[in-house]
Structure 1
Amino acid sequence: MGDSDTNVRRRKPELRTAAVTGRSYQAEIVEVDDDASFSSSATEESADLVKTKTTTSKPPKTKKPRLDDEEAYSPYLDILRVLTFLFFASCGLSYLISSGETFFWGMKNPPTYLQAAWWKSQLSGPLHLTPAELAAYDGTDESKPIYLAINGTIYDVSANRRTYGPGGSYHIFAGADASRGFVTGCFAEDRTADMRGVEEMYLPLDEPSVDRHWKKEELKALKEKELVEARRRVHEGLLHWVKFFANSNKYHFVGYVKRPEGWPGTEPQRKLCDIAANQRKPRVVPGQE
């Protein structure tokens, strides 16, 4: 048994390598001969291998947490941009509409479509006021607009309260249809829409010493022509003011004046006021102009 025992090689476990995963280690068991001799170089290589395998691996670096896009987004910057754009757009539009008068909508006479009263009248339809009802809009009540009428059509002149309101130079026209006064120039006396007889202010005076230069039939035909011309001038004089208010950017249409049936025949005809009457001159003899 001795010899045979010497031939029997006994084996014992020896740590050969170590597999490292994270911080846990697993040893691999191998069989080696008792009689095997290892050189110093082999021993050193095994030690280096074990040392390399057993070195603890460092955990991977992690980035600092970042806020989500939704958490980092702030709407205030976008709101500021929108408000800035609207501000400059408003200034530009105000300057354009006011023809350079203001950047901030402080127009003295804004267009009719920017006036609340105009929109109210458009939505509610034209008013129909009697002369007595129209008189309530003469500017003495500051809570009401100022109305005036020309040839039966009512206009809101509140945009020029300084002129048509109490104390204004044309306050006499407020709250009334003073068409006659617009033509004759007699504001106080002719504060009415009755135009009968106004043409007389354009008719020549009858002067016997002058009229004898025409025959009776000639003078009659001449007077007819003079009457037609006088009425034309009255019509043009009134039409001038009708167009003035109708085309104004400051004053807007409100409605119409309601007259009693048969008017103006229901009232006595007025005499020509002194200012208008004093404009009349005698006829001019042909060749003596």
Structure 2
Amino acid sequence: MYRYGNVVTDKPANRAILASQRRRLEHESKLKAQRSRQEKKEQDGRGTRNNQSKSTFRSILPIILFLPLLSHFLTKSYTFGLSPYFLPPLRNYWNEFPLNPYKIQLRTFTPQELVLYDGSRDDRPVYLAIDGVVFDVSANRRIYGKGGSYNMMAGRDASRAFTTGCFETHLTHDTRGLNEAEQASLQHWKSFFMNHEKYHKIGYVLNPPLTDQDPIPEPCRVAEPDAGKDAGQHAPGEQAAKKGKHRPGPVQ
């Protein structure tokens, strides 16, 4: 045995030192063996997990490939017809995600700037606003563009008309005095444009503030022709509602 570079002989006086050295060497050997076994066990575990992951992926891969084909066979859509429900929200989230290198730079419009996109010029997109949010509806220029049946909604925030259907006197952002159902209708239309697969949120409009001196728009009621005095009354947008809309308002 060696100690500090010197040979330690097996003399009775040195046996305690030799025993201590043997115990230390045995202990180090055991620790080294334990580490080796632990490392081997971890490697085996990683290999097993990798094999399990590969096996699981190989098992579900045919299902992943088969589902779109089944969807197309049943619904003529590769997503079981669910694209309009989950793709637009994902698109909206990604368009505004801070880490998206192609993130849409949302604009801020004044009413005077927004009116420039009322569909009167073919070389400009068509914008409309609801509840202060501006959407590009150029994909449906036939409806919102020049000569379209709802062109009066373009180039402005006509939130009140969306919920009341009064397309002459309620083309304003003033939503004061709307009841709970009408407020819900407004949110319905806002969600409709927000999640539409062809329309896109592009910014906000800075509507002028309203004061107590500004009168709340009068209710819009139009009596049905040739009806008695007790006949029901309705807003002009009710025909749109009868076509399946949640509330009176512009068609798609």
TM-score for the superposition, normalised by structure 1: 0.42
The TM-score with structure 2 as length reference comes to: 0.47
- Greater share of helix residues, 1 or 2? 2
Larger radius of gyration: 1
